[in-house]
Structure 1
Amino acid sequence: MNPILRERVLQEIRSLLDAYRPEIRRLVREAFVPELQRVIQDEIAGALAPEAPAPPVPSPVADAPAEPKPSSPEEALRDPGEPGEGRYVYAVIRGEAGPVLGPMGIDGREVRIIWEDGLGAVVHDCTAAPYESTDEETVKQWLFAHQGVIDRAWREFGGVIPLSFDTILAGGEAQGTDETVAAWLRDGRDDFLSMLDRFAGQAEYGVQVFWDAPAMMETLAQESESVRHMTAGLGDKPKGAAYLHRQKIEAMLKKELETKADHYFREFFKDIQGCVTEVKIEKTKKTEDPARQMIMNLACLLPEARSGELGRELERIQEMVWFSVTFTGPWPPYSFT
């Protein structure tokens, strides 16, 4: 490329990057942080899992933190200029006073509660700028701390609205930063109280159902009359035609497998739904083991006292041939805010 033209192109690219830097930063954070949170959740579940074979009835993994989910009343107020004083908000609780949570926040920051007419915001003091790092381990530690504060508030106050990582309220020019948080609580009061009423006495549990896809496909191949008929004629076909015929058989089996998975999903979902207060369908995750393919990933909200009822329903699924279940919780209601 001509050096002059190349320099002009680079200048144009730099100008575009400067103009859209905040948007690029936001998109990168949205893509990177949730995936990292999923990695952390899997690491915690793996660390807490017993080395011995799991019992027939899946038991919840106590205190395993779930990934924080975005909440509706949590839009952070950012200062477009130089970062001023801010408050990092972990959660909203109900009460009038409570214990000092202490230096357990991100980077060991002192965590306190700002109260406003029966509502409290669990915060630490910070600058009004996002937490950003290119070091994956640093971000993991931030996320662990974020979840740890929310778990502690949940245990102490019995109900909590978890906010997503990096929710920061910036102080306004006409009022102090604590007053900004108090005003935010006043403005969202009805929504906050409604959510706290909804979450009272409830906990979140995770349910993941897996099946042995290759074994299931082999069973379908043996049970399907059309597949057996097509397979029987393979030996009489030329090599090229036989290859195309096998591809057709595989496509047919894949379609039947998808139909079977949808059937089991609907059956299991209906039975699980009867054991819980609310249920949310999450995206399934890919696994390295084809014999353990996830076909269902649910977040369930229910009273802890009913977790045994849900466990018994999951035991029934666990005992089915080719199926296995992972059951985790209880957690604060991360998925339902």
Structure 2
Amino acid sequence: MGYGLYLYGILPATHLNPLHLQGLDKQPVQAHKIGPFIFLYSDAQQERYLASRRNLVGHEKVLEHFMQEGFRTILPLQFGLIVQDWEAVREQLIEPHDEQLHQLFEKLAGNREVGVKVFWDETVELERLMAENDELRERRDRLEGKPLSMDAVIAIGQDIEAAMEDRKNSIIQVFQDTLNPLALDWVENDAMTNLMIFNAAYLIPWDAEAKFGEKVEEADRHFEGRLRIRYNNFTAPFNFAQLD
């Protein structure tokens, strides 16, 4: 028994060769044209798909397959989107969002998303801070081995925390100053771990990726290997395909 249609993404209406691709639950990926849009889908075998790593990767692999096949403009749909039939697609997605869908396709045409995540070692950065900041280091050293009031502990702790925050922001500023001018648009997302200090997605022209990658490496060299940088140069443009 099927549970409807699982949607992966939308392409501008174009000719597609026969698809030989499996989606979630090993179901064949198919294409359905509605007006100027082609919807990529497979038959849903579950009423609701859990956001497991396997399912998320399976969803993204379908989109990346078409990008690798030369479809440089693709509008990814959110993971887990199941509709009952194509009339529901028309009524719930196309008709209320027709103008915005066209605007998104114009925005994404010939462009791609890349992602930059920056991690630091907080202990190492604290040690560097103390080595570089004579005033803070001397205050900390003067307190060692002495009975401390709660106010004294709070005061030095707050000052160190503020200095570390300034240090983090100065690192972020280097990446912003280096990368933002190359992008058509960018989104800064929340950090996913305590060690992640920068998590940004950039929309860049498809053919500008090599130059952008060089700038990521330039920012990395600026910090002489202190940071760990995760650069994803090939992903569907989820951050720039948001429907209101």
Answer whether TM exceeds 0.5 for this pair: yes
Paired amino acid for 1:315: E
User: C-alpha displacement at 1:91, in angstroms?
Assistant: 0.6
SS, match of residue 80 in structure 2: coil
- How many residue pairs get matched? 237
Alignment of 1:168-183 (within 5 A): 168-170=82-84, 177-183=85-91
| Deviation of 1:184 (Å) | 5.0
Q: Note if contact 1:208-1:294 (Cα within 8 Å) is conserved in structure 2.
A: yes
Counterpart of 1:226 in structure 2 is 135
Between structure 1 and structure 2, the one with the greater Rg is: 1
Which range moves more in the overlay, 253-262 or 219-228?
219-228
Report 1:1-337 matches (<5 A): 86-102=4-20, 104-126=22-44, 129-132=47-50, 139-156=52-69, 157-170=71-84, 177-183=85-91, 186-187=94-95, 188-234=97-143, 238=146, 240-241=147-148, 245=152, 248-286=155-193, 293-319=195-221, 320-321=223-224, 322-337=226-241
Letter matched to residue 167 of structure 1: L
- Cα deviation code 1:290-318 (max 9, x no counterpart): xxx32111111112321222222222221
Is the Cα contact below 8 Å between 1:204 and 1:332 reproduced in 2? yes
SS in 2 for 1:93: strand
- Structure 1: stretches of 5+ with no match in the other structure: 1-82, 171-176, 288-292
CA separation of 1:114 and 1:185: change in aligned 2, threshold 3 A: farther
The TM-score, its normalising length taken from structure 2, stands at 0.83
**Given that residues 113 and 204 in structure 2 are in contact (C-alpha distance below 8 angstroms), is that contact kept between their aligned partners in structure 1?**
yes
> Which letter does structure 2 place at the counterpart of 1:300?
Y
**Cα deviation digits, residues 103-138 of structure 1 (max 9, x gap):** 502111122111022211111233793235xxx8xx
Distance 1:335 1:104 in 2: 25
1:111–1:122 CA contact under 8 A, matched in 2? yes
TM-score (normalised: structure 1): 0.62
Give the CA RMSD over aligned residues. 2.8
- The aligned counterpart of 1:45 is none
Q: 1:242 to 1:184 in 2, by over 3 A?
A: closer
Q: Secondary structure at the match of 2:182?
A: coil
Contact 2:114–2:233 (CA<8 Å) still a contact in 1?
Answer: yes
Cα–Cα, structure 1 residues 230 and 102, in superposed 2: closer, same or farther, change >3 Å? Answer: same
Q: Is the 8 A contact 2:67 2:74 kept in 1?
A: yes
User: How many percent of aligned residue pairs carry the same amino acid?
Assistant: 21
Post-superposition shift, 1:232?
Answer: 4.6
Structure 2, gaps ≥5 residues long: none
* Displacement of 1:200: 1.1
Cα shift at 1:195: 0.9
Residues 262/102 of structure 1: CA separation in 2 closer, same or farther (3 Å cut): same
